[in-house]
Amino acid sequence: MIYKRSSELFSQAEKVIPGGVNSPVRAFKAVGGTPIFVKEAKGAYLYDEDGNQLIDYINSWGPMLLGHAFEPVVKAVVDKAKKGTSFGMPTEIETEIAELAVSMVPNIDKIRFVNSGTEACMSAIRLARGYTGKDKIIKFAGCYHGHSDSFLIQAGSGAVTFGTPNSPGVTEGTAKDTLLARYNDIKNVEQLIEANKGDIACVILEPVAGNMGCIPPKDGFLQALRNLCDVHNILLIFDEVMTGFRLAKGGAQELFNIAADIVCFGKVIGGGLPVGAFAARNEIMNHLAPLGPVYQAGTLSGNPLAMAAGLAMLTAINEDEELFLRLEEKTTYLYKGIDKVLTDADIKHTINQVGSMVSVHFSSEKVKDFDTAALGNNDRFKNFFHGLLNEGIYIAPSAFETWFITDALTYKDLDDTIAAVKKVAKSLD
C-alpha cells in the first residue's frame, strides 16, 4: 500500500503539533513508521488520505460500537447543530439521556456528564475522597483511567508503550496517595488495605482490563473486591469507560452481577463525540456541587451536540435485543479463526476475549496481569501490525491494546481478516 500523502501530512503536522498527534497512542512510536491520516469512514471501514480502504479494529478506541458515521447519530448531531451548539444553560436532552442511562445501568440513581473519560475518573475519585473523608486510592498496574495526575502510575497502554509509566510533572505528593496493586491478585489488595488501614477512599479498576490488552477478571476477583470494600468502608469504582454499553446494556456490573459504588463512562456513551460521565446512588451523588460540597464543573459539559450523539447511540443499543449476542458471536468467530491460523503456523500466542473485546499476545503464557502482558514478543507484534496494515487491516499500533469489534463488521470482513492473518503469519519468523 502507498502512504505518500499520509507521510506528507504527518511531516506537516509534526511542525505544529507535538509528535504530530493530539494523543500519543495515535503515533506509531511502538511499531515504527508514520501514522495513517484518515479522510473519512463508514461502517467498518476507514478511507485514508492515500485512497486506501482499511477494515477498522480500533473504532476510535471504542466508541464506534455500531460502525462509523452511524446514520441515527449523524442525523441527531446535524439536526441539533442547526439549533445552536452550546448554551451553558440546562437543556431537556440532558435529562433524556440521563434517564435512559440510569434505566440501562444497574445500581445508579444519578449521572453527571463531563467531556472525557479522564474527567469522569478524575471526578469520581474526588467524589470518593469527599464522601469518605479519606485520601488514598488503590489502582491496578496496567489499568488506565485517563491522564489525570493521580492515575499516571503504571497506567497501561499509552504510558507503557512509551516507557514512561511515571510521568514527569506528577508530584511525589500526588503519587504517594496512589497505591498500586496487581490485577487479579486479591491477596495483594488485602495487604495494601491492611498496611494503610483507615486511609483508603476507593479502589478503582477496569472490571475487564482493556488497556494492557484484554484481561478478564479471574472468577471471584470482583466479588472479593466488593467484599473487601464493604468490610473496610471503601468505595468500589468501576471504570467502565471502555466496557460500559459495550459488554452489556448495563456494562460489566450487569455482566458479572457485581454492584459498584461509582461507575465511570466514556467512549460508547458519546457515540463518537467528546463525552464522559460518572454515576452512583443518590447518597453518593448528592455530595456533588451544587447539592453538596464536592466541586465539579464544565463549561461544555452536557453539550447539546454531544448529548444528541450519545442519546442516539444509547437508544440504538437499548432497542436492539440481539446486539450483544451478535457482537460476541462475531468476536468469537474472529478469535477462533485467528487462533487456528496462528496455531497452524506454529506461532506462540495467547488470545483473550470478553464479549466484543479481544487481544492477541505473542507469548504462550496465560495473560492475566500487567507482568504477563509485558512478556509478549514485541518485534513479532511490529511485524504483525505492519503485515496486517499492508493487507488493509487496521489494528492498534501497540501490543498493549484491545481490538474493538464493531457490529458493522460482516462475516466476510472477518474471513478477510483471518485470511490476512494467515498470510502475515507465514512471514512472522
Ligand X SMILES: *Cc1c(COP(=O)(O)O)cnc(C)c1O
Contacts for 219 with CB less than 8 Å, ≥ 6 apart? none
Contacting residue, 158, 266, 271, 272, with ligand X by CB under 6 A: 266
Give min distance, CB of 243 to ligand X, in A.
8
Active site residue 144: yes
Nearest residue to ligand X, scored by beta-carbon proximity: 117
Helix (H, G, I), strand (E, B) or coil at 329: helix
Beta carbon nearer to ligand X, 252 or 311: 252
Residues of span 160-219 touching ligand X by CB under 6 A = 206, 210-211
Catalytic residue, candidates 267, 330, 368, 382: 267
Q: Which of residues 113-142 bind ligand X (CB under 6 A)?
A: 116-118, 121
Among 179, 229, 241, 306, binds ligand X (CB under 6 A): 241
Whose CA is closest to 388, among 346, 416, 359? 416
With 0-12 CB in 10 A as exposed, 13-18 as middle and 19+ as buried, what is 47? Answer: middle
Number of helices and strands in the chain (H, E): 15, 14
Pick from 404, 361, 394, 128: which is nearest to 272 by CA? 404
Nearest-10 Cα torsion for 110, 112, 116, 122 = -90
Concerning whether 267 is annotated as a catalytic residue, the answer is yes
Which residue lies nearer to ligand X by CB, 247 or 418? 247
Q: Which of 229, 242, 252, 414 binds ligand X (CB under 6 A)?
A: 242
303 near ligand X, judged by CB under 6 A = no
What is the 3-class SS of 45-75, one letter each residue?
EEEECCCCEEEECCCCCCCCCCCECCHHHHH
Nearest approach, Cβ of residue 201 and ligand X (Å): 18
63 contributes a contact to ligand X by CB under 6 A: no
The strand order across the sheet containing 38-42 reads: 38-42, 45-48, 53-56, 393-394
Minimum CB separation from ligand X for residue 228, in Å? 21
Closest CB 239 distance from ligand X, rounded Å: 5
Q: Does position 402 bind ligand X by CB under 6 A?
A: no
- Please report how close the Cβ of residue 25 comes to ligand X at its closest, in angstroms: 9
Calculate the alpha carbon distances from 323 to 128, 248, 249, 328 in Å. 33, 9, 9, 9
Q: Which of residues 276-295 bind ligand X (CB under 6 A)?
A: 276
What residues form DSSP beta bridges with 258?
none
Distance CA 54, CA 31 (A): 18
**Which is the catalytic residue, given 3, 45, 57, 144?**
144
Q: Which is nearer to ligand X, 147 or 349 (CB)?
A: 147
Closest distance between ligand X and the C-beta of residue 250, in Å? 17
Residues of this chain that interact with ligand X (CB under 6 A) are 116-118, 121, 144-146, 206, 210-211, 239, 241-242, 266, 276
**Which are the catalytic amino acids?**
144, 239, 267
